């Protein structure tokens, strides 16, 4: 507001008019931009539903891709391949992420090491996914001389760790100190307090965090381009190239064939449905858990 000099009644009325006009202008702008932002969201989801649903059929879930020029075919191998890679990534990433989160919340509070690691996790979170793919390529693929599902899993696992670490830490921080002190006061060792009291109380939030990390990497394409590489056929071998849904969508989307475009839309719908369903399911599950554990 600054300093207000003495003003005549007229100029005061003018200024009050100006101020309220500015107020209305900003309010209108804010409402307008919210509407503008919701347009692409609705457009993307709506078009995805429309195109995806009209392209989806049973063959999509049961067949492997058809050769170029032929009609039909599906992405069954890509769906399973995505499952394999994501399972591997979760297996590697979730324990490490939770462990690091436990360290930050239970041991590293106020310590330099804790701060450094928290900062590193935040920064790692922002590293582009394609760089992760490149690192996994140099570490694993270049050494083995062939693309593999394992390399893809490692790249995605690295991406999951920082997200899980930070949510685990935040969730553990919400556990009241009195609960921990009660456990320690009963003579229970610290490690058991952490596992059966802190982690258990915070488990709904931690599970949600893991699920969000999972959902985030489920749609990642860039780190798989030169690790998992993609595959037109069935493969369950971790040591071999494997198909993945996002990769397949990418390849089909940039191809010149209408039939492949159709499959790309169907794949996109399936991918986003899988992500949304898993997130929603876990949210419901976690909420129920919160009610049970929250007394």
Partner 1 sequence: MNEPGSIQLPQTVLSERTQATEPVVEAIKPPSIVRSFLQSKSSGKVADGTFWGLMIVCALSIFLIVLLILSVLVVNSKLSIHAFGWKFFTSSSWDPNSGDFGALPFIWGTVVSSLLAVCMAVPLALCVSIFLLEICPLWLRGPIAFLTELLAAIPSVIYGLWAIFILVPIMRDNVGPVLQKYLGWTGLFGGSNFGVGMLTASVILAIMIFPVISSISRDVMKAVPIHQREAALALGATRWEMIRMSVLRNARIGIVGSVILGLGRALGETMAVTMVIGNHPDISKSLFAPATTLASVIANEFSEATGDLYLSALIEIGLALFLVTIVVNGIARLLVWAVTRGNTARAV
Of the two residues 28 and 57, which places its CB atom closer to partner 1 in the complex?
28
Shortest spacing between CB 190 and partner 1, in angstroms: 5
State in angstroms the smallest separation of the CB of 179 from partner 1: 18
Nearer to partner 1, 77 or 129 (CB): 129
Q: Are 199 and 102 in contact (CB under 8 A)?
A: yes
User: In the numeric block, which tokens belong to residue 109?
Assistant: 């509070």
Q: Which is nearer to partner 1, 26 or 53 (CB)?
A: 26
Q: Least distance to partner 1 from the beta carbon of 69, Å?
A: 21
SS (H, E, C) the chain: CCCCCCCCHHHHHHHHHHHHHHHHHHHHHHHHHHHHHHHHHHHHHHHHHHHHHHHCCHHHHHCCECCCCCCCECCHHHHHHHHHHHHHHHHHHHHHHHHHHHHHHHHCCCCHHHHHHHHHHHHHHCCCHHHHHHHHHHHHHHHHCCCCHHHHHHHHHHHHHHHHHHHHHHHHHCCCHHHHHHHHHCCCCHHHHHHHHHHHHHHHHHHHHHHHHHHHHHCCCHHHCCCCECCCCCCCCCCCCECCHHHHHHHHHCCCCHHHHHHHHHHHHHHHHHHHHHHHHHHHHHHHHHHHHCC
Q: Minimum distance between the CB of residue 136 and partner 1, rounded to whole angstroms? A: 9
CB of 141 to partner 1, least distance (A): 10
The C-alpha atoms of residue 282 and residue 85 are separated, in whole angstroms, by 20
Closer Cβ to partner 1, 7 or 190, answer by number: 190
Identify which of residues 40 and 176 has a Cβ nearer to partner 1 in the complex.
Answer: 40
User: 64 or 184, CB closer to partner 1?
Assistant: 184
CB nearer to partner 1: pick between 65 and 108: 108
Q: How far is the CB of 1 from partner 1 (least distance, A)?
A: 6
Q: Least distance to partner 1 from the beta carbon of 275, Å?
A: 6
């Amino acid at each position: 507001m600054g300093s207000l000099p003495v003003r005549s009644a007229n100029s005061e009325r003018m200024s009050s008019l100006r101020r309220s006009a500015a107020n209305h202008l900003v309010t209108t702008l804010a409402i307008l931009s919210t509407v503008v932002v919701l347009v692409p969201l609705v457009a993307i989801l709506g078009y995805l539903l429309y195109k995806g649903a009209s392209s989806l059929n049973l063959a999509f879930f049961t067949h492997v891709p058809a050769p170029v020029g032929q009609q039909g075919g599906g992405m069954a191998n890509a769906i399973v391949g995505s499952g394999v890679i994501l399972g591997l990534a979760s297996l590697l990433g979730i324990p490490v992420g939770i462990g690091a989160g436990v360290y930050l919340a239970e041991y590293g509070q106020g310590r330099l090491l804790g701060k450094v690691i928290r900062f590193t996790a935040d920064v790692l979170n922002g590293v582009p996914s394609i760089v992760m793919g490149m690192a996994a390529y140099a570490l694993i693929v270049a050494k083995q001389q062939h693309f593999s599902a394992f390399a893809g899993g490692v790249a995605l696992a690295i991406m999951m760790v920082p997200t899980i670490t930070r949510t685990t830490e935040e969730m553990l921080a919400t556990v009241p100190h009195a609960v921990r002190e009660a456990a320690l006061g009963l003579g229970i060792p610290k490690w058991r307090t952490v596992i059966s009291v802190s982690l258990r109380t915070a488990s709904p939030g931690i599970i949600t965090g893991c699920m969000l990390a999972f959902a985030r990497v489920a749609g990642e394409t860039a780190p798989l381009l030169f690790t998992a590489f993609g595959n037109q056929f069935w493969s369950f071998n971790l040591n071999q190239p494997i198909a993945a849904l996002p990769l397949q969508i990418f390849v089909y989307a940039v191809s010149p064939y209408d039939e492949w475009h159709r499959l790309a839309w169907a794949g996109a719908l399936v991918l986003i449905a899988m992500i949304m369903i898993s997130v929603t399911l876990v949210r419901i599950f976690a909420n129920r858990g919160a009610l049970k554990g929250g007394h």
